[in-house]
Amino acid sequence: MLTHRRWESLDSGNLGWLRAKHHFAVSAAGNPAHSALGPLIVWNDDEIAVGSGFPMHGHRDMEIITYVRQGVVGHRDTIGSEGTIHAGDVQVMSAGTGIRHAEFNQSDVPLKVYQIWLLPRESGGKPAWDTRPFPKSDRSGRFVVLASGFAGDDGALPIRADARVLGAMLKAGESVRYEFGAARCAYLVVASGRIEVDGEPVGPLDGVAITKIAAAQISALEDSELVMVDAG
């Protein structure tokens, strides 16, 4: 089953320095149709103004993946990690027993990121942070695993959740068939471009929840950048 979550149907927030759209409801007042999907509970499309960012704050028992679409993220945290994450790069943070961190726009353009939160398979554990570049050329015409909680996904950033985060770059006219895990639920977002999923059109910045099907045929109507969480 495919459930389209169109850009205009997403909940939103605007703090001036932060403009956000929420693919999943983040409060009881949110769109009730946009509920969690397995361990996937948050997918925010954030735009952070130049010179702004999130001050030091805390998390625990959460796997947080940051996919940078535009700009540069500056990161520092209480376990001693510090780094810059550029467009095309991915950052993962396993909050475990607790971590505090700050993230800010370190570029001269608005910072655009996907913030993806997954429930860990177990509570606790030592907090951890890592980042890695994933050249878009390596994802041409296929899905590449960017972060994974499963053994055997060589090259992917490790997370402690039963899920995979994947990215693909499809040129207009290209198609890819993706077979889902045993849980058969996933969430796909079109970061740019236009696609069809099993013949259903999905526009730029839209999301689609994919459940109870073994595989899907994804076809690009124009050059497209895709990000997906296979939640099982």
Residue-level pLDDT at 174: 98
pLDDT tens, the chain, 232 aa long: 899 999 999 999 999 999 999 999 988 888 888 999 999 999 999 999 999 999 999 999 999 999 999 999 999 999 999 999 999 899 999 999 999 999 999 999 999 999 999 999 999 999 999 999 999 999 999 999 999 999 889 899 999 999 999 999 999 999 999 998 777 899 999 999 999 999 999 999 999 999 999 999 999 999 999 999 999 7
Neighbours of 181 (CB within 10 A): 16
Residue with tokens 């490790």: 158
Whether CATH 3.10.20.30 fits 2-230: no
151 and 109 Cβ atoms separated by less than 8 Å = no
Between strands 63-70 and 128-133, the pairing is unpaired
120 and 63 Cβ atoms separated by less than 8 Å = yes
The domain spans of the chain are 2-230
Residue-level pLDDT at 29: 82
61 and 118 Cβ atoms separated by less than 8 Å = no
The first and second tokens of residue 140, run together, are 């041409």
63 and 161 Cβ atoms separated by less than 8 Å = yes
